[in-house]
Amino acid sequence: MRKITMNKLYKLQFEKVQDSYVLLFPEGMVNLNPSAAEILLQVDGQKSDQDIIQALRVKFPDAPDDLAEDVLDFLVHAQSKEWICSE
Protein backbone atom coordinates (compact mmCIF):
# COMPACT_ATOMS: atom_id res chain seq x y z
CA MET A 1 0.00 0.00 0.00
CA ARG A 2 1.19 3.47 -0.85
CA LYS A 3 1.35 5.95 1.97
CA ILE A 4 -0.13 9.40 1.46
CA THR A 5 1.77 12.53 2.46
CA MET A 6 1.10 16.23 2.34
CA ASN A 7 2.97 18.22 -0.28
CA LYS A 8 5.61 20.15 1.66
CA LEU A 9 4.50 23.39 -0.04
CA TYR A 10 1.14 23.19 1.75
CA LYS A 11 0.38 23.57 5.43
CA LEU A 12 -2.93 22.46 6.93
CA GLN A 13 -4.05 24.58 9.84
CA PHE A 14 -7.17 25.85 11.58
CA GLU A 15 -7.89 29.53 11.02
CA LYS A 16 -10.03 31.13 13.72
CA VAL A 17 -11.04 34.02 11.45
CA GLN A 18 -12.51 31.61 8.85
CA ASP A 19 -13.65 29.18 11.57
CA SER A 20 -12.35 26.37 9.36
CA TYR A 21 -9.29 24.49 8.27
CA VAL A 22 -7.28 25.94 5.41
CA LEU A 23 -4.35 24.90 3.28
CA LEU A 24 -1.71 27.59 3.23
CA PHE A 25 0.78 27.77 0.38
CA PRO A 26 3.18 30.41 -0.95
CA GLU A 27 0.67 31.90 -3.39
CA GLY A 28 -2.35 31.91 -1.10
CA MET A 29 -4.83 29.84 0.84
CA VAL A 30 -7.50 27.23 0.16
CA ASN A 31 -10.50 27.25 2.51
CA LEU A 32 -11.56 23.63 3.15
CA ASN A 33 -15.03 22.34 3.86
CA PRO A 34 -15.35 20.16 6.99
CA SER A 35 -15.25 16.86 5.07
CA ALA A 36 -12.09 17.78 3.18
CA ALA A 37 -10.47 18.93 6.40
CA GLU A 38 -11.30 15.65 8.18
CA ILE A 39 -9.74 13.66 5.35
CA LEU A 40 -6.60 15.79 5.21
CA LEU A 41 -6.23 15.63 8.99
CA GLN A 42 -5.70 11.88 8.53
CA VAL A 43 -2.84 12.39 6.06
CA ASP A 44 0.23 11.77 8.20
CA GLY A 45 2.69 10.11 5.84
CA GLN A 46 2.00 6.73 7.46
CA LYS A 47 -1.55 5.95 6.34
CA SER A 48 -2.67 4.59 2.99
CA ASP A 49 -5.99 5.54 1.42
CA GLN A 50 -7.57 2.46 3.02
CA ASP A 51 -6.13 3.37 6.42
CA ILE A 52 -7.65 6.85 6.09
CA ILE A 53 -11.04 5.40 5.18
CA GLN A 54 -10.89 3.03 8.17
CA ALA A 55 -9.90 5.84 10.56
CA LEU A 56 -12.81 7.96 9.31
CA ARG A 57 -15.24 5.03 9.69
CA VAL A 58 -14.13 4.71 13.32
CA LYS A 59 -14.38 8.46 13.93
CA PHE A 60 -17.75 8.77 12.15
CA PRO A 61 -19.57 5.43 12.64
CA ASP A 62 -22.82 6.87 11.25
CA ALA A 63 -21.21 7.97 7.98
CA PRO A 64 -23.04 6.86 4.83
CA ASP A 65 -22.08 3.62 3.07
CA ASP A 66 -20.45 5.55 0.23
CA LEU A 67 -17.84 7.06 2.57
CA ALA A 68 -15.01 5.11 0.91
CA GLU A 69 -16.00 6.32 -2.56
CA ASP A 70 -16.22 9.94 -1.38
CA VAL A 71 -12.83 9.76 0.36
CA LEU A 72 -11.15 8.18 -2.67
CA ASP A 73 -12.71 10.80 -4.98
CA PHE A 74 -11.41 13.58 -2.73
CA LEU A 75 -7.93 12.05 -2.54
CA VAL A 76 -7.79 11.91 -6.35
CA HIS A 77 -8.85 15.57 -6.46
CA ALA A 78 -6.31 16.55 -3.79
CA GLN A 79 -3.55 14.74 -5.66
CA SER A 80 -4.53 16.45 -8.94
CA LYS A 81 -4.21 19.78 -7.11
CA GLU A 82 -0.84 18.57 -5.77
CA TRP A 83 -1.94 19.05 -2.14
CA ILE A 84 -0.93 15.46 -1.43
CA CYS A 85 1.27 12.80 -2.97
CA SER A 86 1.59 9.07 -2.47
CA GLU A 87 4.79 7.16 -1.92
Q: What is the pTM of this model?
A: 0.94
Write down the number of H helices and E strands in the chain. 3, 5
Among candidates 28, 4, 1, which has minimal Cα distance to 15? 28
CATH topology for 4-86? Arc Repressor Mutant, subunit A (1.10.10)
- For residues 50 and 1, is the Cβ–Cβ distance under 8 A? yes
Write the pLDDT tens digit of every residue in 6-62.
999 999 999 999 899 999 999 999 999 999 999 999 999 999 999 999 999 999 999
